[in-house]
Amino acid sequence: MRKINPHDFKVARRGTSREINRQIALNLIRAHQPISRADLARLMNVRRGVASLLVSELLSESLIFEGAIGESVGRGRRPTFLYIDSRQRCVVGVDIRASRTYILVTDLLGRQLGAVSSFQTNRDVDVLIQELAHRIKQILSDYMEVGACEGVGVSVPGMVDPAKGRVVHAPTLGWRDVNLRDPLAVALGIPVQIENSGKACALAQVWATRSDVTGSGNSVFVSVSDGVGVGVVVNGEVLRGRHNTAGEFGHVPLSIDGPKCSCGATGCWEAYVSNLATLSRYFGRDLSEPRPRDSETATFSLEDLIARARAGDAKAVAVINSTARYLGLGLASIVNALDPARIYIGGEITTAWSLIEPIVRSALRERTLTEFGGATEIHVVPAEDHPRLRGAVALVAAPAFAAPMVA
């Protein structure tokens, strides 16, 4: 039961019905391709005539194309299959992280077109934009004309205002109120969209083409790395909040008297489960201390710690187990607050999922109110899926498929 906002509504015009059904048809083709007009009509529960009309409109806009004539199963005329048209079109996803920046080229459905490339992130925005523009142009020229690129999506670890195209605050990069979108768009001559990395990850799951991920109208993506980023999806839409800061579960406390967090507060979930927090526990360091420069601990990563745990290092096992417990306790807060249908979780710690899963699950059960809540589906998203990059791609590729705004 949604209320119509009497100060901001959209009346239905002559073309509104058509627009709605057009988008439904497009989404069904996306989800079921290859598909015939007749099957489309059956799925939509409309007459074939209507489906034909919608299809011809989509064809004329080159959003879809007619492929080979299919084999007829029973008797009767053989169907002509329809496909989303991604020929000579591509999308670039960029994932800016504190240490490195990653680039991926995909088609309009987010299917990978080449290998992921990366380079060291230069924290000077202007330099980074120039380097990005240069590398993207080069990569695009390998695949097709640069003009065939529909746009570039960028995932940024920090607070982003996508409407204005600005990075409001990105602590790990030292950026504050930086215009990232427009200079990059000018340098490339292609539209650019930017988004917070947690929300980008959530987007990636919403718009994933694999059928087993779709249908999750309410879900949450938890990304554990240097910090903890969370993207919340409600009714198939990423929750943005009044000031673009929704989803900061990383700074919801486990214990307000807990360890100091990079945000200035104490006891944030992030201060217990981030990679830095886990490593600090292993080295018996305080999280607030500057990271020592000595050779061993400076380069020692969470993967190294997990390797030691697998090799039998008792202290490593204990540290990882406690991270797992804190992880579950924090997930419980998410379940209590939002009761999502599914939680996606990504980050280095998930490479140890087989070790930590029972601990995470039992901690989750410990603090959730109901049996159902404790049993909330948890899906691990491996790093190889590149959720941030795929979310960045969705920023550009998805709007063509989005539901029209109505009422």
- State the nearest-atom distance from the C-beta of 145 to a copy of itself, in Å: 27
Interface positions, 6-65, toward DNA (CB under 7 A): 11-15, 17-18, 21, 36-39, 46-50, 52-56
The footprint of a copy of itself on residues 99-128 (CB under 8 A) is none
CB of 34 to a copy of itself, least distance (A): 15
148 binds, among DNA, a copy of itself, none (CB under 5 to 8 A by kind): none
Q: Which is nearer to a copy of itself, 347 or 391 (CB)?
A: 391
Tokens read off for 33: 């391709």
Give the one entry of DNA, a copy of itself, none that residue 149 binds, where binding means its C-beta sits below a cut-off of 5 to 8 angstroms depending on kind: none
Beta strand pairing status for 117-120 and 100-106? antiparallel
Largest CA distance in the chain: 75
78 binds, among DNA, a copy of itself, none (CB under 5 to 8 A by kind): DNA
Within positions 232 to 251, which residues make up the interface with a copy of itself, using CB under 8 A?
232, 234-249, 251
From DNA, a copy of itself, none, interface partner of 365 (C-beta below 5 to 8 A by class): none
CA distances from 29 to 64, 342, 404 (A): 8, 25, 17
Residue 194 corresponds to which tokens in the numbers above?
């930017």
Output the 3-class SS for 40-58.
HHHHHCCCHHHHHHHHHHH
Tell whether the torsion through CA atoms of 16, 19, 22 and 27 is positive or negative.
Answer: negative
Sheet holding 159-161, edge to edge: 159-161, 166-170, 175-179
Strand ordering across the sheet containing 377-380: 237-238, 228-234, 219-224, 342-347, 377-380
Total residues contacting DNA (rule CB under 7 A)? 32
Among a copy of itself, DNA, none, the one that 60 touches (CB under a kind-dependent 5 to 8 A) is none
Q: How far is the CB of 384 from a copy of itself (least distance, A)?
A: 24
Residue 345 tokens read as 């979780």
How far is residue 125 CA from its own chain's centroid?
23
For residue 272, which of 264, 281, 263, 282 has the smallest C-alpha distance?
281
Which residue's CB is nearer to DNA, number 52 or number 112? 52
Residue whose C-alpha is closest to residue 322's, from 271, 368, 382 = 271
When the beta carbons of 129 and 208 are compared against a copy of itself, the nearer one is 208
Closest CA to 303 of 334, 281, 275: 275
- Interacting residues with a copy of itself between 344 and 373 (CB under 8 A): 366-367, 369-370, 372-373
Instruction: Answer with the entry of DNA, a copy of itself, none that 252 interacts with (C-beta below 5 to 8 A by kind).
Output: a copy of itself
Using CB under 7 A as the binding rule, whether residue 75 contacts DNA is answered as: yes
Element (H, E) at 64: strand 64-69
405 contacts DNA (rule: CB under 7 A): no
Find out whether 394 and 206 touch, Cβ atoms under 8 Å: yes
Site for a copy of itself in 376-395 (CB under 8 A): 376
Query: Are 269 and 251 in contact, with CB atoms under 8 Å apart?
Result: yes
> Which does residue 56 bind out of DNA, a copy of itself, none, counting CB within 5 to 8 angstroms by kind?
DNA
C-alpha angle 284-286-287 in degrees, rounded to nearest 5: 120
Which entry of a copy of itself, DNA, none binds 256, CB below 5 to 8 A by partner kind? a copy of itself
Contacts of DNA in 249-278 (CB under 7 A): none
CA gap 172, 188 in Å, rounded: 26
CB of 288 to a copy of itself, least distance (A): 17
Q: Which is nearer to a copy of itself, 139 or 222 (CB)?
A: 222
The residue from 338, 345, 359, 378 that contacts a copy of itself (CB under 8 A) is: 338
Stretch that binds a copy of itself, among 130-138, 139-147, 177-185, 399-407 (CB under 8 A): 399-407
Measured between alpha carbons, how far is 165 from 32 in angstroms, rounded to an integer? 34
Q: What backbone torsions phi and psi does residue 8 show, to the nearest 5 degrees?
A: -155, 90
- Total residues binding a copy of itself (CB under 8 A): 88
Quote the least distance from Cβ 376 to a copy of itself, whole Å: 8
The single residue among 265, 307, 355, 380 that binds a copy of itself, judged by CB under 8 A, is 265
Stretch that binds a copy of itself, among 60-68, 86-94, 136-144, 339-347 (CB under 8 A): 339-347
- Pairing state between β 80-84 and 64-69: antiparallel
The Cβ of residue 196 has, within 10 Å, a number of other Cβ atoms equal to: 30
Under the rule (CB under 7 A), what is the footprint of DNA?
Answer: 11-15, 17-18, 21, 36-39, 46-50, 52-56, 69, 71-72, 74-80
